[in-house]
A and B are shown apart, each in its own frame.
Chain A
Amino acid sequence: MTKQIIIPFGPQHPVLPEPIHLDLVLEDEMVVEAIPSIGYIHRGFEKLVEKREFTEYVYVAERTCGICSFIHGLTYCQGIEEIMQVEVPERALFLRTIWSEYSRLHSHLLWLGLFADSFGFENLFMNAWRIRERILDVMEQTTGGRVIQGSCKIGGVRRDISGEKLGQMSKDLDSIGQELEELTNVFLRDASIKHRLKNVGVLSRDDAYSLGAVGPTARGSGVSLDMRKTGYAAYGKLNLETVAENDGDCYARCVVRCRELFTSIDLIQQAVRKIPDGPTDVKVTGTPDGEYFTRSEQPRGELVHYLKGNGTKFLVRSRIRTPTLTNIPPLVKMLQGCELADVPVIVLSIDPCISCTER
């Protein structure tokens, strides 16, 4: 029998943007088992809900993640609005959808850059981030923040976007789309990238389903799960096609994210065409009394917020289930049987967001 050795991977590793630790059990160069451990950046956000008023907790909820911050804020607000039976104006729902899709664009571009960096393609990494900068500029012009938008509030949104600006944004997305096409063509067609990603970290459809994969990780394995289909915010009024691939390898997950960039652009342009005029928020009075599970689709997958109030201005419980947490068991499965040199690429392929996971 080959001697087994354990190699620690992380929490500090050049390829990891955030700390996660994996003990890799190796036989020669092959990984036979990966034992993950998290808990390096726990910040106690869920406990903080007892110390901050429910209206101020939006800012805390948003800071759960530095990438998909807007969607955390949106999901929290959605939960409170459901508990308090608040009817959010249509225009606010459309604006939430537009900002959510911009978040998805910037998150996927960030990931494509980091992914390119993980397999050593630094030029591609910089090009992905150059395009991402244009998305972040729009975020800053419309909300005041590049990554922490702070534009969602209970009962609507804080800021409106003028019709002129919306038209400009939609027009700019056409030129961003052309740049993205050039960028994604490199990911999807280049021979060296295909050679590096094809048949690496394969996750079968059954495994993806039974291990609870979500988001692009599940969709890359043919499980067509997308919470946007539930029609929250204004997604119910837009025409959305779920992107799914069947191969289940790193390349498939990359293809899903590349194609989702164009889905997001399409959704924003649809929303700009259909956005109604009207108020952007309603006055919310009273305090939340009750509990609610609210779900949304983050760039990384399904996000669940559980909120419970007891009629005071402080909630009694908040529970955040982030997509990366549920993508870790599929990751462990993908790592079994892979080569040691493929581990960084496979870990990056689930788009791990550890700050989110540990809250």
Chain B
Amino acid sequence: MAFFEMVKTALRTVLSRPATIRYPAEPAKKTLLTRGHVTIDESRCISCGTCQRKCPAQAILLNKEEKTWQMDRLRCVVCNSCVDTCPVKCLFMDTQYTAPTVTRGVEIVTITYVKPVKAADKGEIQG
């Protein structure tokens, strides 16, 4: 049975620096692997739709006709599934969390990828 067992720890914590970060004055802790939010390189996306199929939260909608990639940031659970499965590696995981928002809405990105013209096709065009 002991009394004042906590005193040593309490005194040390009183005299030491705070364990918390003065966020936002100081930046929040981040690591190289931190999952913040998903970003897309629209110039490389081939509109295959794998990210949409593999998203467990159904946050991604790819419209092949209109060539748009939609992301509902409030549905996304930042699981990295789309980034891992993208066949052309055009999706990236940014380490920064998304900013707070006051409105619901989807983020629409227009895909600018243009399929390269094959050598045979080139010949036809030239001919």
Chain A residues close to B by CB (< 8 Å): 52-53, 55-57, 59-60, 63, 121, 123-124, 127, 130, 133, 137, 140-145, 148, 150, 158-159, 182-183, 185-186, 189-191, 194
Contact = CB atoms under 8 A, between A and B. Distances in A.
B6 interface: yes
**Interface SS of chain A: helix, strand, loop or mixed?**
helix
A123 B56 contact: no
Interface of B: 1-3, 5-6, 8-10, 13, 19, 29, 31, 33-35, 53-57, 77, 79-81, 84, 93
Given A190-B2, A191-B2, A56 B54 contact: yes
A133 B20 CA distance: 10
A189 B31 contact: no
A140 B5 contact: no
A124 B33 contact: no
A182 B6 CA distance: 9
B9 A182 contact: yes
9 contacts: A55-B54, A56-B55, A59-B57, A127-B13, A130-B19, A143-B33, A144-B31, A182-B8, A191-B3
A60 B53 CA distance: 15
B1 A56 contact: no
10 A-B pairs closest in CB distance? A144-B33, A59-B56, A189-B2, A190-B5, A56-B56, A59-B79, A130-B19, A144-B35, A141-B31, A186-B5
A137 B19 CA distance: 13
A55 to B, nearest CB: 8
Contacts of A150: 35, 79-80
A133 B79 contact: no
Contacts of B1: 189, 191, 194
Nearest to B1: A191
Given A137-B29, A182-B8, A63 B77 contact: yes
Contacts of A158: 80, 84
Given A143-B33, A186-B5, A52 B84 contact: no
